Structure 1
Amino acid sequence: MTQVDEQGRPEPPLAADETATLLGFLDYQRATFAWKCSGLDAAGLKATVGVSSMTLGGMLKHLAYVESYWFIRSLRGGEWPPPWDAVDWKSDRDWDWRSAADDSPEQLFALWQEAVSRSRSVVTEALAGGDLGQPAKLSWADGQTPGLRWILCHMIEEYARHNGHADLIRESVDGLTGE
């Protein structure tokens, strides 16, 4: 049985195999991010800190993109789902961050939650057919190919890094603090 903390985050298992531990920590980081963004209106999701243009809304959209990139495109080798399939990344490399200002909180949360749900399904499917060492379908430009274990560790790092940013922004919006 998964324990849940006072913020509704699932605690990673204390004694489990490598797969359950990695997935537990990724879900914990996702839940931490959801907590930091929860209950905010459009103004709260557009708030910035200092000279940075980074917003919680931008992070929601960026992390939806990152989920889609690593699990749909890289691991599975699938086509980009909307809205990523229509983006001209060459003309606007920061489209995910910039365009979030035009989206409602409901749109941003739905986009991110759908991406997380798709990612979970892809990982479940991949693990049913192989282990953590299985290679992604897409290789990097230099010919190297990350494995599922690397992708999961990278996603934990991605969320942990952005959760630090989210801490600062959320505190500036309404004083909410906590790990």
Structure 2
Amino acid sequence: RWREAGIPIVPVAINLTTQELYKQELVADIRATMSHYQVDPGLLEFEITESTAMRSMDDAKVILSELKAVGFTLSLDDFGTGYASMSYLSNLPVHGLKIDQSFIAGLERDPSRRRQAAAIVDAMIGLGLNLGLDVVAEGVETPAQRDFLISHRCTRGQGFLFSHPQPEDIIGGLLKEGTTINHSIPDHSRP
């Protein structure tokens, strides 16, 4: 609908559950849907969690390789919350990793643990970048978190700092106008 309305198309991320990832005809079904709607695979990113990949690492590698071959972008979501080993991470055919919001929130929560949180986030960013992956921080809510991430080489983030979830018509309108999402935090203390 956006394309028909002349709204610029942007990539969209879709989470794949464990049941969806290991569905017998997943890749064929997605290809058929993409063909039907004439959508470029480069406009879709599929995200899976570490625990989803760990259910059957060999199967996950095959399925993700098939999706990657079609042209989809693939990311490991909620990175750091699962139990994936580093050898598995380096063998998964993904383009990026998304640092779980719990680690980003830790940058400002308990002052006694802030140093630990910063070290963990910095290590995750470094690991992803050194593996040649795109690194995205989830749950960015404050300018201080954003500034920390930028100073540690993480240049992509998502969270309430940038926008709260919006209905399709609002996002479509912003895209059509070429308007960027507000990067400031709303002041809820005013009436």
**Shared fold, TM over 0.5:** no
Q: Which has the larger radius of gyration?
A: 2
| Structure ranking higher in strand proportion | 2
| Structure ranking higher in helix proportion | 1
Give the TM-score of the pair, scaled to structure 1. Answer: 0.28
